[in-house]
Amino acid sequence: MSKPAPKTQRGVRTRAALLRAAERCFGDKGFHAVSVSDITDEAGMAIGTFYLYFTDKLDVFRAVVDHIQAELRQHLRNSDAEDRLLRERQGLSDFLVFACERPKIFRILQESYIVDSDIYFAYFEGIAASYAKRLKAAQKNKQIVEGDPDIQAWCLIAISNFLGMRYSRAGLRKPKHDAVVETAADFIAFGLAPEGRGRPLRQSARRSGVAAGH
């Protein structure tokens, strides 16, 4: 039901401009408070132009979310430590950086849970699946605790995502960000289990300068 891709170079640029304008609008006011003419106003175009490239407000919204998900994926791809837990720590840190530095964009992502939960979960399911594969392997190697790797994956995502929702609200500046990452990474590593055996990990994390971030 989506419109065919633009055929001319000019069309490509127009569509992209509309997409950017829509992202700004949705970020500023949220899906329901934005009208199609808000978007075309923001893009400096006539209303009619919108319907050359998108069928619907929902149609652009999906395209915007798709774009944001790709950006987030890109942003997280960097995390590539060899150590399992260190990698988690790094991923969590990166996720929080994204959420807190671009809160409006992150909010659009979360809004998709309400507007179209399919695209919301489709994204996380993709992440969960690749997580789960790695977790399964790690279990086989006795590197991590046993349990359904898929559910473990969702636990990991839960922490990143919900802390993102929580801390992208008011902004999360440097020292606090590090504290969140540190405690949450320990939680991921050891849960609430007693005995602070997390020291070596935390030290290695510090040494490698992971959470130095933003």
Contact residues toward a second copy (CB under 8 A) are: 30, 32, 84-85, 88, 110-111, 113-114, 117, 121, 124, 135, 138, 142-148, 151-152, 154-155, 157-159, 161-163, 165-166, 169, 179-180, 182-184, 186-198
Residue 37 or 183 having the CB closest to DNA: 37
Phi, psi of 62 (to 5 degrees): -60, -40
- Please report whether residue 155 would count as binding DNA according to CB under 7 A: no
- Residues 6 or more apart whose CB falls under 8 angstroms from that of 21 comprise 39, 40, 42, 43
Residue 123: contacted member of DNA, a second copy, none (CB under 5 to 8 Å, by partner type):
none
Over 161-208, what HEC string results? HHHHHHHCCCCCCHHHHHHHHHHHHHHHHHCCCCCCCCHHHHHHHHHC
Residue 121 or 206 having the CB closest to a second copy: 121
Residue 44 or 196 having the CB closest to a second copy: 196
AA letter at 85: L
Tokens (6 digits) for 113: 């849970």
- Please report whether residue 114 would count as binding DNA according to CB under 7 A: no
| Residue 31 contacts residue 111 (beta carbons within 8 Å) | yes
**Least distance (Å) from a second copy to the CB of residue 161?**
6
